[in-house]
Amino acid sequence: MPNQITLADLTKGSASITNPALAGTGAPTGDVVPSAADAAAVAALTPDQQIAKLPAVDQTAVNQLAGQIDFTRDGIESTYGKDAQRATSTFADEILSDTRSKDTGEAGELLNTMLVTIDEAELGGFRKVPILGQVAVSIDKLRRRYQKVDAQIDEIITRLEAAQAKLVADISMYNTMYQQNAQQYRELKITVLAGKKALADFRATQLPALEAEADRSGDPMQAQVLKDFKSKLDRFEKRLDDLDRISVVTLQTAPQIKIIQNADQTIVDKIDTTISTTIPVWKSQMVIALGLSNQRKALDLQNKADDVTNKLLQRNAAALHKGAVDAEKANQRSVVEIDTLEKINSELIATLKETVQIQKEGKANREAAQAKMRQIEADLKQALLDNAQQM
């Protein structure tokens, strides 16, 4: 329990204090807020009840930070939680910078180039001639064409492996980002709960004493000091609401990171399948085609090899096309759908409007109460004077 504050303390700012409650807390040990299904129930709890649901280490952090909050300090209503807020902003800038500099389409383009190269090479033992149609290609020409395309494919594979290595590094980086985002979310929720607890405790224990002191003094200036201080508390409460909203944005960032990470993993898997399965199968089929061309029934066997190769290439081309298109669609898809943004925006606007209306109603009720209290005081004083004159 902090020392009792007087009206005189409100006219001077206290010295700034450090808040080490969150220092060295490490990775999150549990959820600071409940699941979505319990959100309504949690919102109805008092700060102390919400704190009681936290892990022991987080309860200690909240209580320590709450005990250090000094409402007489100048500017506390605008600077509280600023470090956590600044860290969240910096983290968001890092994610944005990384996604802007990422060329997620490079691997997909390489896969497409490989497909086009194989398709246009006409390695089935025939070449297309106008008017005559398909004409058998000599074994020497087929071999030279295969060697040329094989070199092109090897070059594309080298570039695919480099792109795959970068994607694997990015996936690891996103794991670190996800953990950092979770830690920032936890720190924001601890900061908000500590502020709510300190504010609730102050209003319940010390604010009534300040109000009583102002009433006893009968000094309008003292009453104004108290009124200004209450406004400061209201602004501090608004600051807590802003920090709470930032924590929600931080929570929304988590699935966004995972979406990007999963898209990268999809492309990594597709590259691995192409290098380890598709290309070896294609090469083996071409070796078979070349060998069959040397046999007695070269033409018939070559036709069969063409059929096998064409079917194989068609199946692989279809599989590669679908995989490349699906991966590219996943990469190009917006991290947050516009419908989601519109809904969040509508909810925020509605919340702000309702908050303003509630504040106006609260202010009006307080003003009405003030007028009534003044009338009560005047009536009572008049009654006492009348009573004293009649005695």
Q: Are residues 190 and 304 in the same domain?
A: yes
- Picking from 321, 336, 351, the residue at the C-terminal end of a domain is 336
Binning the chain into helix, strand and coil, the percentages to the nearest 5 are 80, 0, 20
Q: What local confidence, expressed as pLDDT, does residue 276 receive?
A: 82
Q: What local confidence, expressed as pLDDT, does residue 99 receive?
A: 57
**For the chain, what is the domain count?**
2
Of 106, 107, 101, 98, give the one whose Cα is nearest residue 253: 98
Q: What local confidence, expressed as pLDDT, does residue 234 receive?
A: 92
**Region label for 75, one of left (φ > 0), alpha (ψ between -120 and 50) or beta (otherwise):** left
Q: Are residues 290 and 344 in the same domain?
A: no
* pLDDT at residue 261 is higher than 70: yes
- The span from the CA of 312 to the CA of 307, in Å, is 8
CB-CB contact of 306 with 126 (8 Å) = yes
Structure-model confidence comparison of residues 351 and 18, the more confident one: 351
Is residue 238 very low, low, confident or very high in pLDDT (cuts 50, 70, 90)? very high
Q: What is the mean pLDDT of residues 271-281?
A: 79
pLDDT digit string, tens, across residues 177-192: 888 888 888 888 999 9
- In percent, the amount of the chain with pLDDT more than 70 equals 68
Residue 22 domain flag: no
Q: What is the mean pLDDT of residues 360-371?
A: 84
Is residue 327 very low, low, confident or very high in pLDDT (cuts 50, 70, 90)? confident
CB-CB contact of 123 with 146 (8 Å) = yes
- The span from the CA of 68 to the CA of 302, in Å, is 85
pLDDT digit string, tens, across residues 202-215: 889 888 988 888 88
- Picking from 308, 336, 364, the residue at the C-terminal end of a domain is 336
* pLDDT at residue 253 is higher than 70: yes
CB-CB contact of 115 with 317 (8 Å) = yes
Is residue 383 very low, low, confident or very high in pLDDT (cuts 50, 70, 90)? confident
Residue 136 dihedral angles phi and psi, to the nearest 5°: -60, 140
Q: What amino acid is encoded at 182 in this protein?
A: A
Residue 21 domain flag: no
Q: Are residues 279 and 148 in the same domain?
A: yes
Residue 215 domain flag: yes
| Average pLDDT score over the chain | 75
Q: Collapse the DSSP code of 363 into the 3-class scheme (helix H, G, I; strand E, B; otherwise coil) and give the result.
A: helix
Residue 12 domain flag: no
CB-CB contact of 116 with 324 (8 Å) = no
Is residue 305 very low, low, confident or very high in pLDDT (cuts 50, 70, 90)? low
CB-CB contact of 271 with 306 (8 Å) = no
Q: Tell whether pTM > 0.85.
A: no
Q: Are residues 93 and 134 in the same domain?
A: yes
* pLDDT at residue 27 is higher than 80: no
Q: What is the mean pLDDT of residues 101-119?
A: 63
* pLDDT at residue 226 is higher than 80: yes
CB-CB contact of 72 with 200 (8 Å) = no
Structure-model confidence comparison of residues 186 and 160, the more confident one: 186
Element counts in the chain: helices (H) and strands (E): 12, 2
Q: Are residues 189 and 157 in the same domain?
A: yes
Q: What local confidence, expressed as pLDDT, does residue 139 receive?
A: 58
* pLDDT at residue 107 is higher than 90: no
What sign does the dihedral 225-230-234-237 (CA atoms) show? positive
Residue 9 domain flag: no
Q: By mean pLDDT, which of 118-127, 260-269, 302-311 is the weakest?
A: 118-127
Structure-model confidence comparison of residues 135 and 338, the more confident one: 338
- The span from the CA of 289 to the CA of 357, in Å, is 80
**Region label for 12, one of left (φ > 0), alpha (ψ between -120 and 50) or beta (otherwise):** beta
Residue 322 domain flag: yes
CB-CB contact of 286 with 123 (8 Å) = yes
What's the domain range around 377?
Answer: 340-391
* pLDDT at residue 298 is higher than 90: no
- DSSP conformation letters of 70-93: -TTSTTHHHHTTHHHHHHHHHHHH
- The span from the CA of 118 to the CA of 299, in Å, is 22
Q: What is the mean pLDDT of residues 332-361?
A: 80
Q: Are residues 194 and 331 in the same domain?
A: yes
Six-digit token pair at 123? Answer: 């390695």
What sign does the dihedral 269-270-273-275 (CA atoms) show? negative
Q: Are residues 240 and 346 in the same domain?
A: no
Q: By mean pLDDT, which of 111-115, 169-173, 252-256, 311-315 is the weakest?
A: 111-115
Q: What local confidence, expressed as pLDDT, does residue 94 receive?
A: 67
- Residue 48 has a CB neighbour count (10 Å cut-off) of 15
- Residue 261 has a CB neighbour count (10 Å cut-off) of 19
Q: What local confidence, expressed as pLDDT, does residue 30 receive?
A: 41
CB-CB contact of 95 with 177 (8 Å) = yes
Q: Are residues 196 and 289 in the same domain?
A: yes
Q: What local confidence, expressed as pLDDT, does residue 235 receive?
A: 92
Q: What local confidence, expressed as pLDDT, does residue 97 receive?
A: 65
Q: Are residues 148 and 108 in the same domain?
A: yes
* pLDDT at residue 35 is higher than 60: no
Q: What is the mean pLDDT of residues 72-83?
A: 84
Residue 59 domain flag: yes
Structure-model confidence comparison of residues 237 and 91, the more confident one: 237
Q: What is the mean pLDDT of residues 355-375?
A: 84
Q: Are residues 176 and 48 in the same domain?
A: yes
CB-CB contact of 210 with 226 (8 Å) = yes
Residue 27 domain flag: no
Q: Are residues 90 and 201 in the same domain?
A: yes
Six-digit token pair at 294? Answer: 């040397």
Q: What local confidence, expressed as pLDDT, does residue 356 receive?
A: 82
Q: Are residues 70 and 193 in the same domain?
A: yes
* pLDDT at residue 19 is higher than 50: no
Structure-model confidence comparison of residues 298 and 69, the more confident one: 69
- Picking from 336, 355, 382, the residue at the C-terminal end of a domain is 336
DSSP strands (E only) in 221-332: none
